[in-house]
Each structure stands twice: as C-alpha cells, then as structure tokens.
Structure 1
C-alpha cells in the first residue's frame, strides 16, 4: 500500500478474522475500496488461483516450505517474496549474560505459545555455565501461567488447534524416546501444551531439524564456540539466530559464520523491528521484509532518459 499498489490479501484458512478486521479499519481510514480485496477460503483453491492470475504482479507469502515451493512453481513470470520455516538457535557462550539469555529464551520460546517464525527452538550453552543456565531457565519457565488467553493474568495460551497440539506433543515424545530429558513441562490438555524444556536432545529429532511452532525449547551443551556455530548452522533453515557473549571476537565470528538472515548479539532471535531487513537464507525463504526493503521489492523500476541537446 505504501508503494502505491492495490492489494489482494488471502488470510490463513484457520485465522481469517484478523485480516478482515484490518480491512474494515483500512476502509474506515479512507483507503479506496478498489485498492483492497480480502479473499478467504482454502489455500489450495483460492490461494493457487491468486498466485496463477496474470494480473498479479507480485506474490508475498508467509508460511511453510512446501507451500512456498508450490507458489514458486505456480507463480509464472512475477516477483515472489517468501518468508518460510525456521528453527532458530540461541547460543550462550562462556562469557554470556546468563540472566539476559534466560529471559530471551523464555520470551522467545514461549510467547504466543511458540507460534512465531523466529521463536527460540534450539539453545546451545557452554558446558561451564550449562547447569546454571538450565536451573534458572526451568525456574522461569515454571512461573509461566498457562490458560485462557482472554484472561489478563494468563502468560501463555493454547496452540491453534488440536492437530497441532498433538503434533507438538508427539515431537516431544519422540525426543524423549531418543534420549532427551524433560526438565519441565511436556504434558498436553487438549490444545494447551505445558511450556517444555528438553535437555540433551539428539540431533536427529524433529525438534532439532524441523520447525516446531509450539512451546518447547531444546537445550544442549557445547565445549567450544566453533562447535556451537556449526550446530546452529546444521539446519535447512536460516532465518535468525541469537548469540550471547562478552567477547567481541566471538561476536564477529558468529556474524561471519552463521548462515542466517539476521544475527543478534546479546539478544534472542525473536527480536524484530519493522525497519530491519527481515528474511532468511536457505529454506527460510527469499527476499526481505521491512518497510524500505519491502517497498523496493514491491516497486517496478523505470528508467527515464532525456536528450536535452537540440
């Protein structure tokens, strides 16, 4: 809209109301009705039709990797921006601020029940501070009040539906079956998943390789910083990563080495400001969001040349 485009919005099938309310607000604010369409329905039918329509000049999509790949196949000769999956890592070096790192893990891993693209999912902590970090993390996680999101004193509500709650529960069970330890949480009541901390999680588990999109974090230890960077990179995703360290050389080593669209030093990967160039490497997508960067992608460049000689 800021770039001067008419916009067609296709909300998620499970969550159309927010976008419909946004549309009402925009029209009330004075946006021309011809410039905004909000179309609800199944993505496989409605979404595919929009993507294939030759009148659409650009498709911007946030969602899963399989759907993103399908959009690339269907879009034809038009611009495409994709913000896809993630399983964001957080590294806590030996000199990192433990309290601040724990706070970033709790807010980043459990806000909105972990249903955020850049939620903290994998945590790598230096072995010398591992026990201290885990003890404080478990204490803070157990203070999270889970329940009805309509109540003001609730810290964390349910995941979006029962199918996803069962999936999250099964991923936790899989990690435990392969040797992980549940430090806290791990239980499900319909769509409410208790905030969960898993320790010593094997590399071949879904919670370490896929996008959980739920309220659980995996916490493993490491001996040297290079190993932690390698573990953080051992993923098909690359959206954002956080590193806690007091050593400037480790900070710049992380920035140079980590294959992520955003590397945050002494902050969790959950942080995002609208002016940032937000987007990922590998299967986390293509293109960048953020006001300036999105406007540039959503603008057609035209070159104009004058010959002023008579």
Structure 2
C-alpha cells in the first residue's frame, strides 16, 4: 500500500526484446541487482542481431501505418496509453525503486509524470502545423501559392538513461507516435525492468503492430543507430557516448540531451531562504543523478556566510536511506561503481585544497550529501559532471567574469540565478550561452512541456512534446503555379 512505512518488494521482472508486437529473448540474460541490498530483482535478455533486424523491419513497415493515421486517432491512442500507464504506476514505481536505488517517493512522482507527458503528446498530435510562404515579394513568385508542411521522419531510434527510465522513455515514445513515426527504444541496461512494465502498459492500450519495438544491451546500439532504416536518433545520456553517436551516423538527424555542471548563482539581493532550500534539494535529489542537478553554486561574497549556513542546515534535514522506505528522500546511486567514481572526484578535490563541509563518505552504492568549499574551477569536481550528491561553493565579487567562463566552457545545459534585479536577470538571459536560464530557480528546474536541452557539448535539439515533435518531423515545401 502507498501509506506503508516501507514498500514491499515485487516479483522478479524479465526484460525482453519487443519485435513487431511479440516478446522475445533469445540472447544471454544479465542479472539486474538492487543497488541498496545487492539482491537480484530481475533479468535482462540481451538482444540478438536477428532481433535487431526484426525490429528494424517491423518499425519500417509500421512507420507507413503510423504516417497514414489521422492526428485525432494518434491523439486518442496516446490518451489510452496514458490511462494504461497511470493504472500501472504503482507497480512501475516499485520496480524502479528496486532496480535504480531511487527513493520510492521520487519513483512514484516519475511514474505519475509519465502519463502526464503522454497526455501532452496527445494534445500536440493534432497541432502539427506548417506555414504559408508569401511569394509576392519577387516577380518570379508573384501569383503563386506556397506552403511548408511537416511530415513524420519514419523510424526513430531512441536510447534512454537509467536516471529517469520511464518518464524519459515517455518523452521519446510519446512525441514519436504523436508525430506519426514508429520507434525502436533501447533502455539503459542498468534500468530495463521498469521500462519493461512501461512498455507492457503501452501495448495493453492497443497500438499498431511494430509501431513500438524494444531492444536491450549496449552492444546492439551502434548497429541500431547507423542502420539506414533508422531515420532519426534521439539519445539521452553521457557526453562521450553522444559524441560517438553523432560522429557515426553521418548526415542522419540526431537529438542529443547530454550533461552539464549545474551552475546556480546566488546574488547579494537574492531570497536566501528560497535559494538555500531549492539549491540543497536540487543538488541531492535523485542522489544528484540528473544532468541538470545543482553542482556548482556561485554565491556573492556579501552573502557567503549566511547562505552557506542556510544551505548546510537544509542539507542536514534531507533523509538518506533505504529507497523502499517511504520516509527516505534520497536513495543510492545506480551502482557501487558510480559511488566509487564520485568519491574519487571528492577525494581529489580535498587533496588539492578544497574544504569538506559535509559528507565525503560512502556505504556501498550510497554516498552521503557532500558539500565542498574553497574549490578551484579547474578541479574536476567543478569542471566535469559529477552525477552524484555533491555540490561546490564558489564565491564571487563580480558576476560578469563567471558568466563569460560559463559561456566559454564546453557545457551549456541550464543555469539558475537567484536575484531580485531585473537588469541582472536580463543580463544573464542575454549573455549565458546555455539551453535555458532559470531566474529565481536552480539549474535543475524542468516542466515536461518546456523545450529542454542544451548547446555546445550539452546537446542538440530539444525534449518536450511540441519541440521533440518538431525534431521528429521534416519540412516539405510545395508550390502551386
């Protein structure tokens, strides 16, 4: 029950390939373990080359069916899918908590967001618009009628990460179907079980055979994204893998939602209470495993002591523990190897002179809330994505030089700034080369309908139903002479 002090476990799940409407699993099986207890909670069937070929053929055939489906039918289908996912949300959330180590409260939130995301996609399915192009501006165009229309690209290959396995799958599956495409989904091998239950719910809603296919295993990914039957690749994950994908697929369009270093500013005129609470929570939630998590806090020297004290107080109130305990706010990292990597970054920073204000310890896959001050920008805990519950505190007198450094850095996902100054807010918006600037909010703020994504090494293209559908369709220009 939802109100239990501790959520009970569920039956082991087998994640299988979905090819043309049929579940199959001929390949090797891999254990999926609970990162908190180490117990096996399910298994994943690694997809074979034959399953890849079958999925490509099924998606290619289904793409014609999806393209011919009227928008209102696609919208109705997505509403049915949303209803089915919502009906299975509690089971999806429990499985997610077991396989990822995320707190059950966060898993329930995600399982509720996924159907909401799908409903947004349903609404956009009937809003795919082109535009009239006036040609009277030149003699050659006078008297002619011209339009631009948008058509589905065909087959979308979507690769999703472990940190939000269900809602991010919804962010790819929903827009693909809404735009009239077929999709081949490859979930993270670190979190395939909740995706299995999500896709089962999708199929229960009734969809054309082959419109949704699922493959498992990282070894299958290169052949998937480079296959000529795939018309667009949508990837959410690490920067190195994103670069490999982009360099391997030639002129094929690609949408990349990659990493960042979570810069958030606290200016001298900020609401310090709000800034401290939001910064602490958005640094630690999901154990820091969000590409936009608050990682680097830049605070004006005039509020350094007061803000630091408030931040530490808020961090101390966050409950780390058993992901299945409903009182837990932060669970584990995805596995012990990830925790070891994070601790290595923290230890190198301390060895180089950073001051450890909180945390800096590890138990298995769980890392304590860690706050570092006196951090030099060159330390990898500041200059590289940590992807763990770790935040650095850096002070400034003049804010413009920090703006320039962020704009010149390889990262450009989102930036938060707390200030009551309209002039400073506009300066941040105009000068920070990032995908988003959140005024009086942190770098991690996101709503599911917004255009979410980055620039530079942080990605290309945008997530969010309307904006993902723009990427998953192609323009076609026509003229009536």
* Pair in the same fold by TM > 0.5: yes
- Paired position in structure 1 for 2:242: 68
Secondary structure of the residue aligned to 1:104 is helix
2:338 is aligned with 1:164 = yes
Secondary structure of the residue aligned to 1:9 is strand
2:184 is aligned with 1:8 = yes
2:281–2:315 Cα contact (<8 Å) kept: no
Please give the alpha-carbon distance, in whole angstroms, between the structure 1 residues aligned to 2:194 and 2:472.
23
Unaligned residue ranges in structure 2 (runs of 5+)? 1-176
1:262–1:278 Cα contact (<8 Å) kept: yes
1:119-130 aligned within 5 A: 119-130=293-304
Deviation >4 Å, runs of 4+:
none
Larger CA deviation: 85-94 vs 71-80: 71-80
Please give the alpha-carbon distance, in whole angstroms, between the structure 1 residues aligned to 2:209 and 2:297.
47
- Paired position in structure 1 for 2:203: 27
1:92–1:244 Cα contact (<8 Å) kept: yes
User: Normalising by the residue count of structure 1, what TM-score does the alignment of the two structures yield?
Assistant: 0.95
Please give the alpha-carbon distance, in whole angstroms, between the structure 2 residues aligned to 1:172 and 1:234.
25
1:104-183 aligned within 5 A: 104-183=278-357
Offset at residue 258 of structure 1 (A): 0.8
- Paired position in structure 2 for 1:197: 371
Unaligned residue ranges in structure 1 (runs of 5+)? none
Please give the alpha-carbon distance, in whole angstroms, between the structure 1 residues aligned to 2:403 and 2:270.
15
Greater C-alpha radius of gyration: 2
Structure 1 pair 234/193, CA: closer, same or farther in 2 (3 Å)?
A: farther
Please report the RMSD computed on the Cα atoms of aligned residues, expressed in angstroms: 1.2
1:102–1:137 Cα contact (<8 Å) kept: yes
1:77-96 aligned within 5 A: 77-96=251-270
Please give the alpha-carbon distance, in whole angstroms, between the structure 1 residues aligned to 2:410 and 2:250.
25
Offset at residue 234 of structure 1 (A): 5.3
- Paired position in structure 2 for 1:247: 421
Secondary structure of the residue aligned to 1:34 is coil
Please give the alpha-carbon distance, in whole angstroms, between the structure 1 residues aligned to 2:465 and 2:277.
28
The one of 248, 268, 273 equivalent to 1:99 is 273
User: Normalising by the residue count of structure 2, what TM-score does the alignment of the two structures yield?
Assistant: 0.62
- Paired position in structure 1 for 2:399: 225
